Amino acid sequence: MFSIPLKPFAQRYKKSIFDKNLSMQTIVNQDFSSRRVIVRVDFNVPIDDQLQVTDSTRIRAAKETIDYILKKGGSCVLLSHLGRPMGKDPKLTLSHIVSKVQEVLEVPVTFFGDCVGQQAEAATASLTPGSVILMENLRYYKEETAGDIEFAKGLSKLGDCYVNDAFGTAHRAHASTTIMAQFFKDHKYFGRLLEKEVNAIEKVMKSGDKPVLAILGGAKVSSKITIIENMLDKIDHLIIGGGMVYTFVKAQGGKVGRSICEDDYCDYALTLLDKAKAKGVQVHLPSDVIIGDDFSNEANKKSCKVDEIPDDWEGLDAGPETLKSFQKVVMQSKTILWNGPLGVFELENFAKGTIALGEFISDSTQAGAFSLVGGGDSVAAVKQFGFEEKMSYISTGGGAMLESLEGKTLPGIAALQE
Ligand code: AMP
């Protein structure tokens, strides 16, 4: 099969959609009556040893789009991947999730054991309005991740129009997430989830009320460089937390003991502080931290100044003085982005800072600020500590969210706008 080379595609979109005013053709007010709508969803859900879905967030996130299409007289052909199968691995068949999909959607869902080819086309050809069919795991075919154009063309034969609602894979130029859009020139649409994700990011990156605050935590500076650089043009305040802090502290001559620290990035940390200053961004680093004598929940702990950590101790959470000053900044902000925890929140004894930050952002949101939480661990923390309903928006896409914050164009989104 002929494959589209991925690089030239990405190069065609040098600018982020968040830097341009591109239109979004959404499903809202489209006429789907008697149309078979291919919906690329992200049903890549966790499954336990008993083959039960342990977290159905992603299925629930697609419900609004599917409901809408059905209500408008269409039928849905659901396409998704599950895991990273090497060939047709029976452990990763989407048949395992059919009953959960049915339970969440509250409509009957049929399953078809393939996603492409004549038999798959025959299975979708006879769909009647209001029906839903879930096709087999796209990644059973290596052509999916290769972005193979013939495979994409085969998928496109399953319906009359195309809706992408899989934000979690929008950063991949795969056959079903990107390449296939070209076969639906005037009939390709943003699903409700994709639309909400793009709007939330755009609000932070472009149109949010000031002051705009970014809170970047997590383990390492090295993994957040592009995000920090990109955000500096868009924000008024930057809170730096988590393990990243110690690279900055050491760069400024402080003692960080055994804290996580990337010596290779000390110079970069200083450059970044200079850049922030030049751009008028106020950077807030912790003044005190909670340190432990071991990386474990049983460690002895105490608070100390951030730059006076004894040799055998390590910084594992934000301290009380720091939290007070962070609270002020959060409460003053009108637009807030949170990515990365303030400490090792997985250890109960060092979760206090992350929980407190969740409370501050909840309070600020309650007072009218817009808050967006995105990227892996902060989303996990928000869910774990019960702040899910208190944030304005929680992104469903880890990698896609991070790439958006880095200012990259997501191929899945660009393909809908061509
Ligand atoms: P990231 O994926 O970069 O957002 O990092 C998230 C991880 O950073 C979580 O697993 C936290 O436990 C970890 N983390 C946060 N603060 C610290 C710290 N002070 N020392 C070591 N790891 C930390």
CATH architecture of the domain 6-194 equals: 3-Layer(aba) Sandwich (3.40)
Instruction: Note whether 162 and 156 are within 8 A (CB).
Output: yes
pLDDT tens digits, 84-137? 999 999 999 999 999 999 999 999 999 999 999 999 999 999 899 999 999 999
pLDDT at residue 22 in the model: 52
Closest CA to 317 of 346, 337, 338: 346
Mean pLDDT throughout 224-250?
94
Percent share of the chain, pLDDT over 70: 94
Domain boundaries, the chain: 6-194, 208-405
Q: Amino acid identity, residue 158?
A: L
Q: Is 218 in the pocket of ligand 1 (CB under 6 A)?
A: yes
Multiple choice CATH, 208-405, 3.20.20.70, 3.90.1010.10, 3.40.50.1260, 3.40.50.2300: 3.40.50.1260
- Residue with CA at minimum distance from ligand 1 atom 20: 243
Exposure string for 54-84, b = 16+ CB within 10 A, e = fewer:
eebebbebbbbbbebbbebebbbbbbbbbee
Percent share of the chain, pLDDT over 90: 84
Angstrom distance (rounded) from CA 373 to CA 388: 10
pLDDT at residue 397 in the model: 84
pLDDT of 209 above 70: yes
Outline where DSSP puts E strands in 131-256: 132-135, 161-164, 188-190, 212-216, 237-240, 255-256
Question: With 0-12 CB in 10 A as exposed, 13-18 as middle and 19+ as buried, what is 211?
Answer: middle
pLDDT at residue 5 in the model: 39
Tell me how far the alpha carbon of residue 346 lies from the centroid of ligand 1, in angstroms.
9
Instruction: Note whether 180 and 409 are within 8 A (CB).
Output: no
pLDDT at residue 100 in the model: 97
Tell me how far the alpha carbon of residue 195 lies from the centroid of ligand 1, in angstroms.
30
Element (H, E) at 39: strand 36-40
| Active-site entry in 58, 172, 192, 408 | 58
Catalytic-residue membership of 358: no
pLDDT of 12 above 90: no
| Active-site entry in 63, 88, 153, 220 | 220
Instruction: Name beta bridge partners: 110.
Output: 133
Domain 208-405 in the same topology as domain 6-194: yes
Catalytic-residue membership of 220: yes
Tell me how far the alpha carbon of residue 408 lies from the centroid of ligand 1, in angstroms.
24
pLDDT at residue 378 in the model: 87
Q: Is 223 in the pocket of ligand 1 (CB under 6 A)?
A: yes
Q: Is 260 in the pocket of ligand 1 (CB under 6 A)?
A: yes
Catalytic-residue membership of 58: yes
Catalytic-residue membership of 234: no
Angstrom distance (rounded) from CA 301 to CA 401: 34
Tell me how far the alpha carbon of residue 57 lies from the centroid of ligand 1, in angstroms.
24
Helix 192-202 vs helix 57-71: angle between axes, to the nearest 10 degrees?
Answer: 120
Question: Regarding predicted confidence, which is higher, 13 or 416?
Answer: 416
- Residue with CA at minimum distance from ligand 1 atom 21: 243
Q: Is 358 in the pocket of ligand 1 (CB under 6 A)?
A: no
pLDDT tens digits, 153-208? 999 999 999 999 999 999 999 999 999 999 998 899 999 999 999 999 999 988 88
- Residue with CA at minimum distance from ligand 1 atom 5: 218
pLDDT at residue 15 in the model: 39
pLDDT at residue 359 in the model: 97
Instruction: Ligand 1, residue 224: give the atom nearest the CA.
Output: 3
Q: Is 262 in the pocket of ligand 1 (CB under 6 A)?
A: no
pLDDT tens digits, 290-321? 999 999 999 999 999 999 999 999 999 999 99
Instruction: Ligand 1, residue 347: give the atom nearest the CA.
Output: 12
Element (H, E) at 309: strand 308-309
pLDDT tens digits, 45-77? 999 999 999 999 999 999 999 999 999 999 999
Tell me how far the alpha carbon of residue 367 lies from the centroid of ligand 1, in angstroms.
29
pLDDT at residue 377 in the model: 84
Pocket test for ligand 1, best of 227, 239, 256, 260 (most atoms within 8 A of CB): 260
Q: Is 85 in the pocket of ligand 1 (CB under 6 A)?
A: no
Mean pLDDT, the chain, integer: 92
Q: Amino acid identity, residue 330?
A: V
Q: Is 344 in the pocket of ligand 1 (CB under 6 A)?
A: yes
Tell me how far the alpha carbon of residue 284 lies from the centroid of ligand 1, in angstroms.
18
Pocket test for ligand 1, best of 344, 352, 354, 385 (most atoms within 8 A of CB): 344
